[in-house]
Structure 1
Amino acid sequence: MELTQPELDANSDTQFLEVSLNVKEYIVAGFTILRLVLNRNTLQSIDDQAFNGPLLDSLVELDLNDNNLGQIPQTGLTRLRNLRKLYLNRNRINTLASNAFANYESKDLLIKLSLAGNRLTDQSLTDTAVFRPLRLLQVRELHLFSS
């Protein structure tokens, strides 16, 4: 399943939205939301246009736990300008490319990254360049425990 354009009413003051268990192929691009929970879905990728509109500037926290993402998303999320917390726990991520966060517009703001329960190995974590662009990332907030 791929996350794509919205079908929800954007004329709302919603700041937090949880879309869990079988999300349809849309996202809330017209909303101004601070925290978005899209966990326990079957997301395998995120469309580059999925977060168009106010979300590009408003989204601060994104929960993509318990999906089927095979890598750090390189589309959609890269355009989020104010993302500070990213949860990618229990996906199917098994390697971290050295440039995984290099194109993230919020790379200077991200303070929490959670990757616990993925298929990461010690070998996949040897390239410390992967975290170098994340200047504010606090090591105590980097959760890498495997399942």
Structure 2
Amino acid sequence: MKKTTAENASSPAGIQPASGYAGDIPAQLAFEWMQSGEAVLVDVRTDAEREWVGYVPGAVPLAWKQWPGMAMNAGFDEGLKAAVPAGKKTVLLCRSGVRSVAAAKRATELGMEAYNILEGFEGDADEQGQRGRKGGWRFRGLPWKQG
């Protein structure tokens, strides 16, 4: 039986070591930190993704790249600094956990304690190329809304 990301984690808290940022964490841990006020969840997907696919209530919407064209968001650094108070963890969410790694590295360069949320909002694509069935925030049953 394949182990879950949390079971594979190298620490009891579920934090997996990463290069260039504080670590990778399961969505459930990110949600717990967000609920306790320990962290600010920053959703780095595009506005279109959040609108069409769904979003996490209480998350800060701050695109890493802008649609269309996926150009870098020139206001990302300033937006991130404004969104996350000093002393709080930054947990970053994207579609599948790829853009959020880049964003976590940037947040770390800005002096933040930044974590990537494993599996992202939608998880990996399945054999049919569809997301939402193999991991992710929604798949794990965590709070989200659409529309």
Q: What is the TM-score with the length of structure 2 in the denominator? A: 0.27
Question: Which structure ranks higher in relative contact order (CA pairs < 8 Å, sequence separation ≥ 6)?
Answer: 2
Q: What is the TM-score with the length of structure 1 in the denominator? A: 0.27
User: Could you say which structure has the higher helix fraction?
Assistant: 2
